[in-house]
Structure 1
Amino acid sequence: MQGLTFEGDRRVALADFPDPTPGPGEVVVRVMASGMCGSDLHYYRAEADSTPPESRCIGGHEPAGVVESLGPGVGDTQLRVGQRVMVHHYSGCGTCASCRSGWTQMCTSGPVKVYGKNANGAHAQFMKVPAACALPLSDALSYAAGAAIGCGTGTGWGALERLGEVGGLDLVVFGQGPVGLSATMLATARGARVIAVDLSDDRLVQASRFGAAETVNPNSVDPVEAILELTGGVGAAAVVETSGSTAAATAGMAALARWGRLCAVGLGGTVSFDVRTFLSRQITAMTSWSMSSVQQMACADFVARRNLPVDDLFTHRWSLDQATEAYQEFDKQTAGKAVFLF
């Protein structure tokens, strides 16, 4: 099979890899959709890597597909050949408390595999994972939707789970890329009044289509003043920061109401505050690292039951042989989500 690897210096390569064979407790998934995630750009933009492509890990950590084969010990009651699945893209020891609760990325007993980073990922025809990582995908959802739920959309869901009940609240989402749009869509469906913030008017138009009640562009207005005005001077009960911008995180903190909660998921920014300024407001600041496998299944079920338009997040669909063009376009960060379809 062919797999995509990141060479750094804004280059990718397609190399030949052996078709994987499942070992005990493992399955091989025939990949039908593999999403492109913003975190891929860290590897894409890194310094050039002189390692031969076939010696690197295959990229991609947002897979969905069908079970191709079962390894020893994986019975038909757990998974069956031909079953539609999405993949939780972390695996750990499988036995510690974190792993047993679905938080394999927080495994405390052994090294964690992150597919697409330190283990072969999904930008290939086949992918081998522990059976516990292969999660059922409803017939009501496309493979592309399953891929999105496996990371970007699931990350938005995980942030809302960290914040707790959001129904009836004024909730601000900073950043309206794929994760932010997902948070906007999911929070709206969960009953929040969402205020979407982004520097791009085009993305704010998309946010309105995904349910945002109000939009704010910091290029035009002071975001804190705008949020206070939109909330009758009270401030936001909850904030999700997806952009990875320190300025956005700072504005989000300043716009919180008393007892407000901020959840940061965007990488690259710094969240800080002066205790004297915020002490009497009783605010809570937290982070959220994607989601557990249990939450991933809950998110997929919620999306399917509510018939939410996750597929509308995608503005570009590519084949693997278009990988160079695909990542050049994705690197501009001016469009929506992108996916490789097989």
Structure 2
Amino acid sequence: MRGIVFRGNCTLELATFPDPTPDVGEVVLEIKASGMCGSDLHFYRQPQTIPGRSVIAGHEPCGVVVAVGPGVIEPHARVGARVMVHHYSGCRGCPDCRSGWPQMCRTVPVTVYGTDAHGAHAPYMKVPASTLVPLDERLSFEAGAAISCGTGTAWGAFERIGLTGRDTVAIFGQGPVGLSATLLAKAQGAMVIALDIDESRRRTSRTFGADAVINPQDGRVVDAIHELTDGKGAGVALETSGAAAASRDALDSVSPWGTVCLVGIGAEFSFLLAKYLRTQLRILTSWTMSIPGQQACADFVVERGIDLDRLFTDRWRLDQAEEAYQSFNRQSGGKGVFLM
């Protein structure tokens, strides 16, 4: 089979690999949809890769089980099952792994599929059966791919925050994670203020239900949010863009006792504690979602009838990989996915 390998300096290759065979406790999926995530761009853009290292990219897998190895006990890990993948694997025995947070494992180095082991940008993918999350028949494979990282990341952040329908949330960045957050927050009844520098993404956030939209390039982010909230500020700010300026604006845009949750990878910023100490702000980080959280996100999407397929503006074949990532690298528009 052929799979996408990032080679650095905004280049990639469709490299050839043997078809995978499951070992003890493992399954092989026939990938139906593999989402493109903003974090892919860090590896796509990096100056160079390790010579001789070839790892298939793609950490938003969704597909059908086609082979089951010995010792698999998970009831949903059967041939023909429609599944998503929680794209981390740890020791499987520590408290974090047993509670569904393998990415928090401190016992062994965590495996991240698509980075440390072969991912889903290929026809087939081998993973531990313990990483599988059932995909409801009412959800498309594309929706399952989104929940496997981007949409699941938004869900996990809102779980950390404890978002309610009474909240006003400012969502910084309306890429795939931010747009997912807009959809999920509106489905919970919250008021959403959406921010992005890209016009097409701002338009999309409007169609997804955002109550107000702000272009940060206008230079009035903090004032605009306070004007929209009668001077109080937003109760919640979710930063998904990875921009340092957005993180600073998020801190200044929330009300006293408010919550700022930082999700976007890549931001580095500092702040003066004296400025915020008396505001009683709660500052959180959030790293994707747990396995139960991924299932809960999927269940919520089904129960509320959320159309996640609307996230996708670009559907690609593997042999279009170069064009796909050149387009995605512009960071304009919606979400891309490879369909097999």
TM-score bin (small chain): over 0.9
Partner of 1:337: 335
Partner of 1:291: 289
- In 2, the alpha carbon distance for the partners of 1:3 and 1:51 equals 17
Following TM superposition, by how much is the alpha carbon of 1:50 offset from its aligned partner in structure 2, in angstroms?
6.6
- In 2, the alpha carbon distance for the partners of 1:251 and 1:71 equals 50
- In 2, the alpha carbon distance for the partners of 1:269 and 1:262 equals 14
TM-score (norm. length: structure 1): 0.97
Partner of 2:37: 37
Following TM superposition, by how much is the alpha carbon of 1:166 offset from its aligned partner in structure 2, in angstroms?
2.4
Tell me, yes or no, if the aligned pair for 2:29 and 2:64 is still in contact at 8 Å.
Answer: yes
| Pairs within 5 Å for 1:151-300 | 151-300=149-298
| Pairs within 5 Å for 1:58-207 | 58-75=56-73, 77-207=75-205
SS at match of 1:340: strand
Following TM superposition, by how much is the alpha carbon of 1:205 offset from its aligned partner in structure 2, in angstroms?
1.2
**CA distances 1:129-174 after superposition (whole Å, capped 9, x unpaired):** 1101111001111101100110111111111111113221111000
SS at match of 1:172: strand
Tell me, yes or no, if the aligned pair for 2:247 and 2:269 is still in contact at 8 Å.
Answer: yes
Following TM superposition, by how much is the alpha carbon of 1:9 offset from its aligned partner in structure 2, in angstroms?
1.4
Pairing 1:47–2:37 present: no
Partner of 2:13: 13
Provide the identity percentage: 54
- In 1, the alpha carbon distance for the partners of 2:46 and 2:253 equals 35
- In 2, the alpha carbon distance for the partners of 1:43 and 1:171 equals 31
**CA distances 1:83-130 after superposition (whole Å, capped 9, x unpaired):** 000000000010100001111011121111100001010011111111
**Structure 1 gap segments, 5+ residues each:** none
SS at match of 1:219: helix
- In 2, the alpha carbon distance for the partners of 1:56 and 1:130 equals 20
- Aligned letter for 2:99? S
**CA distances 1:219-246 after superposition (whole Å, capped 9, x unpaired):** 2350100000100011110000001111
- Aligned letter for 1:51? P
- In 1, the alpha carbon distance for the partners of 2:278 and 2:125 equals 51
SS at match of 1:240: strand
Compared CA separation, residues 76 and 288, structure 1 to 2 (3 A) = closer
Following TM superposition, by how much is the alpha carbon of 1:310 offset from its aligned partner in structure 2, in angstroms?
0.9
**CA distances 1:34-68 after superposition (whole Å, capped 9, x unpaired):** 0111111111111233734xx41111100000001
- In 2, the alpha carbon distance for the partners of 1:107 and 1:49 equals 26
Task: Say how many residue pairs are matched.
Answer: 340
- In 2, the alpha carbon distance for the partners of 1:309 and 1:323 equals 26
TM-score (norm. length: structure 2): 0.97
- In 1, the alpha carbon distance for the partners of 2:282 and 2:74 equals 45
Tell me, yes or no, if the aligned pair for 2:33 and 2:141 is still in contact at 8 Å.
Answer: yes
- Aligned letter for 1:118? D
Partner of 2:26: 26
Tell me, yes or no, if the aligned pair for 2:200 and 2:332 is still in contact at 8 Å.
Answer: no
Partner of 2:306: 308
SS at match of 2:315: strand
SS at match of 2:218: coil
- Aligned letter for 1:134? L
Following TM superposition, by how much is the alpha carbon of 1:209 offset from its aligned partner in structure 2, in angstroms?
1.1
Partner of 1:56: 54
Tell me, yes or no, if the aligned pair for 2:64 and 2:79 is still in contact at 8 Å.
Answer: yes
- In 1, the alpha carbon distance for the partners of 2:74 and 2:144 equals 22
Following TM superposition, by how much is the alpha carbon of 1:74 offset from its aligned partner in structure 2, in angstroms?
1.4
- In 1, the alpha carbon distance for the partners of 2:50 and 2:247 equals 37
RMSD of the TM alignment (CA)?
A: 1.3
Tell me, yes or no, if the aligned pair for 2:237 and 2:250 is still in contact at 8 Å.
Answer: yes
Compared CA separation, residues 57 and 87, structure 1 to 2 (3 A) = same
SS at match of 1:128: strand
Compared CA separation, residues 50 and 25, structure 1 to 2 (3 A) = closer
- Aligned letter for 1:330? F
- In 2, the alpha carbon distance for the partners of 1:115 and 1:273 equals 34
Following TM superposition, by how much is the alpha carbon of 1:200 offset from its aligned partner in structure 2, in angstroms?
2.0
**CA distances 1:262-299 after superposition (whole Å, capped 9, x unpaired):** 00000111353322221221111110001111101100
